[in-house]
Structure 1
């Protein structure tokens, strides 16, 4: 579960598009769509929105300036690309300098995109804004194209210092970013900047060692950027951190495999209060890397542990770049399932009995306890796995409702943005779900 560019989602995937370009790319940022495909006219960014996007690019530039200006940057970038192509994630993410190269190259566009998506769903995120006394808070800010989320739950994020109590009851947002890294950190900070009276905490969880990178970016989000000593008094007065004061933003990181966590550990991560859970360019890697069975099992455990009212945001590559194969033989013999179909099939289905599960297996639908070759685990006597059937029929899981969905959306960099190296536009699919009360609590 590592952060990879879309081109690395499959070993035979196409390289990133070369048409787009630099950070001065020619297209405008589209609004997240709920239709199957984003085909409407593009709307230009406002001057405020353009400044907000440039601010985020400046944060990446300042945080990774030493790496970006090294003569060896291009060679290191090629080394990272080759490691990703070979699916050698230990090599790609096992070194600090490679992490810096990855974050400097691919995370800026993703951070802008994630911030854009979060701002587009702020109406749903507002429901997670709750003050410490449990009262709902309004939390809409005026920052252009900002982004953020979360809700405070003291003690649920390890290694993060407690937010000092200044006597004021500030609403809070809380997020668990599964597979999260540099892009999620900056996007969250951007959204939080649009909510000046809100505190936020983001817990990143990934198998790669992203903790140092995330803390470095957090420092740049909460510290005024460097400014020339010759700058005017007005420029110095206007020079401020994106998120201020710095104790409004808490960032924590755990180097863990989400699939390896037991139910108790997952419940501790989620906490007792509603939060936003994100799987940003991560879910398809779980399906293709760990398999459909393990990933489906994780999603069901998530459904069993997540507090009612929580949101799940999934962003990934669109179309054939996000498919998982089931069956024996070569690629042509295997049956391919779109990630979105697998996700909806797991989250939106009512818990099913063993009989329903058997019928679905006969129809070729993969179940949580199915092996990746399409065969179900069976006992030696040829019977079905009773424990798996019981798990499939459990009734203590949250019921998810889909709030928004887009099969294919372009995020294009606006004219006038500046960055030291070439950046590219990106295309993505997006799905937003809300956890309804658990079945055994419904009347």
Structure 2
């Protein structure tokens, strides 16, 4: 993610046993051991338990990690990876997003370090919420990811691979929109997803016959559009959204848009609402807690991001003394969930568990 998918100063720290920022790794080549589930507040809409395990088989989760490992082997083994990651983290801390995502080597370093965890989390969310997507086009699912990059393209492929096991997976038309130049990274990952992984020269004939790509070639058509989300006009959004119901995502993007400009973000959401057709789904995932609060007005009042979003989408604001009509229905919400990486996954560098809030809206 680039300018439209940014992170605060605490982003990227390893999840530890007693504190969200306490390191807790046990070896450089292993994923951190899962922790006991954290208690979550009652969701606003649909009742559910905080997710602690993915519904996706661990074998498929490992294949997802292999996609990143096989796509960027030189990056993962390079002696410059850690200095590059430090540069990116420093730029993110200083909120200098043009610098953090301004070089191809920075994008690749980000992709191997932070995108795998995100992709695993996103794919588990998509599979978990599949029952809400049954009313969308069953032959080709159109998706637009605002602030999307490396994690999103792999996450949708992983979700498709999991659903295809039950012959439920549609083809996907995936559009990623971001200011950072993710096109090259996305193209490499897209190609790796539809290509059988490399095998050792000592692999048996049966292993070679069984070797296959994560998804069938052509099952996902991925397009990257370099654009500033907050700069999109109504006509541009009309062109992006099209004429039918679809899935829209803002994955760890909306809070940073609000931080940039509440006015521009509000205009973007209102224009997006005008562009979308009934039945369209909007999936919003972001950091929970105080990080998702934004300063509003000269008095520096702080409002939760979720409240700001509901204020626009659900018609909670009042006009001339009367409550305005809602344009969206919130069909699912949870203000604190965990995605925990299962034991047994292997990756060359450490990955982290993730805590997030989630909301899913349907256009009325």
Please give the TM-score of this superposition, normalised by the length of structure 1. Answer: 0.73
Structure 1 contact 28–42 (Cα < 8 Å) conserved? no
Distance 1:62 1:34, change over 3 A: farther
Residue equivalent to 1:338? 304
* 2:147 equivalent to 1:175: no
Once the two structures are superposed, the pairs formed by residues 408-423 of structure 1 within 5 Å of their partners are: 408-423=336-351
Distance, in Å, in 2 between the alignment partners of 1:35 and 1:199 is: 34
1:431 to 343, 347, 359: 359
Contact 1:185–1:218, Cα closer than 8 Å, also in 2 = yes
Task: Name the residue aligned to 2:15.
Answer: none
8 Å CA contact retained: 1:29, 1:414: no
* 1:207 paired residue number: 179
Distance 1:219 1:424 in 2: 26
Match of 1:379 in 2: none
> Compared with structure 1, are the counterparts of its residues 78 and 9 closer, same or farther at alpha carbon in structure 2 (3 Å cutoff)?
closer
Displacement of 1:198 in angstroms is 2.4
> 1:327: how far off?
2.6
Q: Point out which structure has higher relative CO (alpha carbons under 8 A, 6+ apart).
A: 2
Q: 1:422 deviation in Å? A: 1.1
SS in 2 for 1:71: coil
Match in the other structure for 1:68? 76
Q: CA deviation at 1:36?
A: 3.5
Within a 5 Å distance, the mapping from 1:201-350 to structure 2 comes to 201-244=173-216, 246-289=217-260, 291-328=261-298, 333-349=299-315
Structure 1 residue 8 displacement after superposition: 5.5
- Structure 2 distance, partners of 1:285, 1:109, is 20
| Inter-CA distance 219–122: structure 2 relative to 1 (3 Å threshold) | same
Check the 8 A contact 1:28/1:413 in 2, yes or no.
no
Deviations 1:363-411, CA, capped at 9 Å, x for gaps: xxxxxxxxxxxxxxxxxxxxxxxxxxxxxx8x8xx71000110101111
Question: Do the aligned residues in 1 keep the contact of 2:53 with 2:339 (CA within 8 Å)?
Answer: no
Taking the aligned partners of 1:218 and 1:225, their CA distance within structure 2 comes to 13
Q: 1:260 to 1:45 in 2, by over 3 A?
A: closer
The answer as to whether partners of 2:32 and 2:350 remain within 8 angstroms in 1 is no
> In structure 2, the residue corresponding to 1:231 is in which secondary structure?
coil
How far does residue 87 in structure 1 lie from its aligned partner after superposition?
A: 1.0
Do residues 19 (structure 1) and 24 (structure 2) align? Answer: yes
**Is the counterpart of residue 188 in structure 1 residue 195 in structure 2?**
no
Deviations 1:339-359, CA, capped at 9 Å, x for gaps: 000011110016853x249xx
Q: How far is 1:201 from its partner?
A: 1.2
Give the alignment's Cα RMSD to 1 decimal. 2.8
Name the count of aligned residue pairs.
Answer: 347
Go from structure 1 to structure 2 and tell me whether the alpha carbon gap of 1:5 and 1:88 turns closer, same or farther (over 3 Å shift). closer
Q: Which secondary structure does the structure 2 equivalent of 1:118 belong to?
A: helix
Aligned to 1:133: none
Unaligned ranges ≥5, structure 2: 13-18
User: For 1:142-163, what per-residue CA distance to the aligned partner results, in whole angstroms no more than 9, with x for missing partners?
Assistant: xxxxxxxxxxxxxxxxxxxxxx
**Secondary structure of residue in 2 paired with 1:337:** strand
Shift of 1:7: 4.1
SS at match of 2:34: coil
Give the C-alpha shift of residue 335 in structure 1. 0.2
